[in-house]
Copies of this chain bind each other. A is one copy, B any other.
Amino acid sequence: MQKKSLSFPSGRTDFYFSATLAQLKTVADPRYSVIITDEHVFEAHARKLKGWKLIVLKAGEEQKVQATVDTIIQQLIELEADRKTTLVGIGGGVVTDITGYVASVYMRGIRFGFVPSSLLALVDASIGGKNGIDVGVYKNMVGVIRQPAFIMHDISLLKSLPEKEWRNGFAEIIKHACIKDAAMFRELRAQKLAHYQKKTSAIAALVQRNALLKARVVQKDETEQGDRRLLNFGHTLGHALENQYALMHGEAVAIGMAFASKMSEQLLGFRQAAQVIQTIEQYGLPVGMEFDRKHAAEILRMDKKRERSSLHYILLEKIGKGTSRSLPLEQLTQLFLEIR
């Protein structure tokens, strides 16, 4: 187990790399902790969770809503959770988002940490302190920013991960490469998904590289006034499509990245759109779909990144260099109708 502490404006997170779930009791006392997980993780790892107080949720993005928060709070009251209780979210992004949110509002905030069980949660969702829930078709409409006390990586949990969840995680890895890390982009182009699935040391190194890349962006800009906006690459159109068409998050982001690459071509003279699109496809992700373009443009009006009549859209200058541009909603609507 290798510990690395990172400080953010709102608090410190201790990262534990190369750890195992069995070591969780060294950072959270089972007597004063409650684990929140979902039925899939619970079924796959029930034996390792013995002796912990557990709240087991149904699995799925559609659970990331206020009704689930209400249920968890009722259970915390029944378990007599108090201000000294630690909540531990073990699961994918839905579990970590909802655990962070509940811990931020229960008794005005208690300690919490994560053991991410999906690739997407390891490289993205668990990091940076954004938490929250969806409201109708609007993703993460409600939440706060508060850093977890710890994030523990047990790469062996990926063994039970379905194939589609691997692809889901690689969408965010490709995103990181596109906006910030041209060397990683070249590595991804040279490899295949199967390489990382087979070789533990390769995926462990890639996960750590991505986790630290994201954490460092957030350290400098926790409240998303500047550089953190780049992490939304592929996410604006992505979010507009995800809940509406019941896509996986990675699929939605992949389509969003392909689209934003073409927008970058048109608006900034970006020349590597074809490479981005190839790489997305190489990792088994979609690069386009038929969608109601007018309706998607309307959903943008309620995107959190909107500020009055403009919206911060993330484009690429070149691979490894993302940029945020404030675009008027009218222009965006036009681009949505034009670009194929």
Contacts and interface: CB of A to CB of B under 8 A. Distances in A.
A97 to B, nearest CB: 12
Contacts of A107: 141-142, 304
B144 A80 contact: no
Interface in A122-168: 130, 132, 135-136, 138, 140-145
Contact of A142 (B106, B141, B308): B106
Nearest to A308: B84
B144 A307 contact: no
A1 interface: no
A141 B302 CA distance: 30
Contacts of A80: 301-302
B141 A73 contact: yes
Chain A interface, >50% SS class: mixed
Interface in A281-318: 301-302, 304, 306-308
Chain A interface residue number, banded: 20 to 34
A13 interface: no
Contacts of A306: 82-83
Contacts of A141: 73, 77, 106-107
A105 B73 contact: no
A73 B135 contact: yes
Interface of A: 32, 66, 70, 73-74, 77, 80, 82-84, 104-109, 130, 132, 135-136, 138, 140-145, 301-302, 304, 306-308
- 3 tightest A-B contacts by CB? A107-B304, A105-B142, A108-B143
Given A77-B141, A106-B141, 5 more contacts: A74-B135, A82-B304, A105-B132, A106-B142, A108-B304
18 contacts: A66-B66, A66-B70, A73-B141, A77-B138, A77-B141, A77-B302, A80-B302, A82-B306, A82-B308, A83-B304, A83-B306, A84-B308, A105-B142, A105-B144, A107-B142, A108-B143, A108-B144, A109-B144
